[in-house]
A and B are shown apart, each in its own frame.
Chain A
Amino acid sequence: MRDMDSTARALGDLLAYHEQTRAPKVISCRPLTGGYSRVMTHAVVAWPDGVEQALVLRSDPPPEEIVYKTDRVTEWNVLRALTKAAAVAMPPALYFDDGSRLGAPTIVLGCCDGPSLQAASMDEAAELDSYAEQVADTLAGIHNVDLGLLDGSLSPPDDWESYVNGLIDEWALAERAHPESVPVLRYLSAWLRAHRPEPMNMVLVHGDFQASNLLVKDGLQAIDWEFAHVGDPREDLGWFSLFSASISAPNLYARDPEGFLARYRARTGASPEAVNQATVGYFSVVAATRVYLSILQSAAAMAEGKAQGVMLTYNLNACALGNFNWLSICQSLEGAL
């Protein structure tokens, strides 16, 4: 079990360092469940004027338990730039600790106390059409962000062609580096290369855009930006469609995919040739590279005795689900691309 007293003390030190004479007092700290990749903590602090504020701490887990290898410094820089520019609805990024106080690299964010869209959409009274529209709008808002506002926190790829080819090749390269063969990955890589859709302009991509990473509060607030990068906008559309089909909550994409995509296109200026159900299906496979390969690498590390944790073995089920879904998607798209 995590020691919340020491977390509270370390958070107090961090806030005292940043806020100096007006540092708030840490009232409480408790673990937050729900995140699969990072260690999350909910804290409440009281400022000298008596105002209480809830914060969320997003830390790296112990190295041997990391399933998704992403960089907190990069995530912090992206979140900081987006917060500064007020470019996207999201909890503000407030402080960063390199691990010297909190024991692991940690981002401190403002707390959004709304439910996740996944939870909210399971409510019987949920207005699902409205949620679907808000998702399309939120995604369009992210993809419309001026890349200049990112303050160089993300490096854009050279061009679409080499970028997408790189993603496709990753499937096969990672499979070859893995200590056991996974033939479906080699099939996917070859299939994706043979069916590439038309290019699009590169945009800010959230990278893990799914209903549990959207909080319902004054519209939708996007959280968990660890996979953010500059890439093809259809990566987020594809990942959202795939993820929505894999959870028990209502599928906000599948209830009216044409309407969803028409709304997205109207807000981004994307063409129907570039953004349609077939290209979204295609990118639902492409977009999975980062998450899937992270799990695969962790599995390899465990097989070599370098990683541990039930989260890791539990997540192998996601790989099994992915293998099944992606092969099915490729089959369903034969002839459409």
Chain B
Amino acid sequence: MITLPTTEQIILDCRRELLDTVLPAVSDPAVRVTVEMMENVLRNVATRCAHEIAWMAEETEVMMAFAAEVAEVTANEALLRAIEEAKLGRSASLDLDDVRRDYSLAGEALSCAIEASFEVNDDALLRRAVEILQERNAREQEVKGEWAMIGRG
């Protein structure tokens, strides 16, 4: 398959075309807002497609490790079930859909681990949970990039 230019580069070039060619020709204010939103979404998508498989795979490992750590301390039933489901559902495939499904199952295990940590009020576990969520949030911010409410105000 053709891999260059990369998907990210192609999307960013479409974005450039939208800004340089399409937007100046649009006079309807409502349509201009739509085009500006499309520009923003294309930036989001470009960042996502460049990194999301690697990011999800990395985070899946971290979430599962934390879930196992909390399960050892709390023996929480819902958490043990979520870990089991994540293990059973795990795919070796790198197809985006499969990686996304693994990520979501690991996310459920993390959620159950967070709730179990609150139940036992374990400060150290909760601090670690927050760190993991902060890392996840940081990547969401990277995908978001600069964002203001276009057309609002």
Interface residues of A (CB under 8 A from B): 1-2, 31, 33-34, 36, 116, 118-119, 175, 179-184, 186-187, 190-191, 194, 211-212, 247-249, 310-311, 313-314, 316-318, 320-321, 323-324, 327, 331
- Per the bound structure, the CA–CA distance linking A225 and B133 in Å amounts to 33
Interface residues of B (CB under 8 A from A): 28-31, 33-34, 37-38, 40-41, 44, 63, 100, 103-108, 110-111, 114-115, 118, 129-130, 133-134, 136-137, 140-141, 143-144, 147-153
Contact A327 B148 (CB under 8 A): no
Asked if B148 contacts A320 (CB within 8 A), the reply is no
Further pairs besides A34-B153, A36-B149, A191-B118: 12, Cβ < 8 Å: A34-B152, A181-B104, A182-B107, A194-B118, A212-B152, A212-B153, A249-B153, A313-B44, A318-B149, A320-B144, A323-B137, A324-B141
Q: Do A33 and B29 contact each other (CB < 8 Å), given the known contacts A119-B153, A175-B111, A324-B140?
A: yes
Residue numbers in A under 8 Å from B111 (CB-CB): 175, 181, 183, 186-187
Chain A interface mostly: helix
Q: Are B104 and A184 in contact (CB under 8 A)?
A: no
> Across the interface, which residues of A come within 8 angstroms of B44, CB to CB?
313, 316-317
Given A247-B149, A248-B148: A310 and B107 within 8 A (CB)?
no
Are A320 and B140 neighbours in the complex by a CB distance under 8 Å?
yes
The residues of B that contact A316 with a CB separation of less than 8 Å are: 44
Given contacts A187-B114, A249-B153, contact A1 B28 (CB under 8 A): yes
Report Cα–Cα, A44/B28, bound state, in Å.
19
Q: Which residue of A lies closest to B141 (CB)?
A: A324
Q: How many A-B residue pairs have CB under 8 A?
A: 105
Bound together, the chains give a CA A186 to CA B115 distance in angstroms of 7
In the assembled complex, which residues on chain B have CB atoms less than 8 Å from the CB atom of A327? 130, 133-134, 137
- CB of A116, distance to nearest CB on chain B (Å): 6
CB-nearest residue of chain B relative to A331?
Answer: B130
**With known contacts A183-B110, A187-B129, A323-B137, A314–B41 Cβ distance under 8 A:** yes
Q: Is the CB of A323 within 8 A of B140?
A: yes
> What is the bound-complex CA distance between A187 and B44, given in angstroms?
25
Q: How far is the CA of A247 from the CA of B115 in the complex (A)?
A: 32
Are A184 and B133 neighbours in the complex by a CB distance under 8 Å?
yes
Name the residue of chain A whose CB is nearest to the CB of B115: A190
Known: A31-B30, A33-B29, A190-B118. A183 touches B107 (CB 8 A): yes
Q: In the complex where A181-B108, A186-B114, A331-B130 touch, is A33 in contact with B140 (Cβ < 8 A)?
A: no
Pick from B30, B134, B144, B151: contact of A317, CB below 8 A.
B144
Who on chain B is nearest to A193 by CB?
B118
Q: How far is the CA of A327 from the CA of B133 in the complex (A)?
A: 8
Contact of A321 with B144 in the complex, beta carbons under 8 Å: yes
- In the bound assembly, the distance between CA atoms of A317 and B129 in angstroms comes to 23
Given A34-B151, A34-B152, do A324 and B137 touch, yes or no (CB 8 Å)?
A: yes
Structural contact, A320 and B143, CB atoms closer than 8 A: yes
Say yes or no: B107 contacts A180, CB within 8 Å: yes
Cβ of A190 to closest chain B Cβ, rounded Å:
4
Which B residues are CB-close (under 8 A) to A323? 136-137, 140
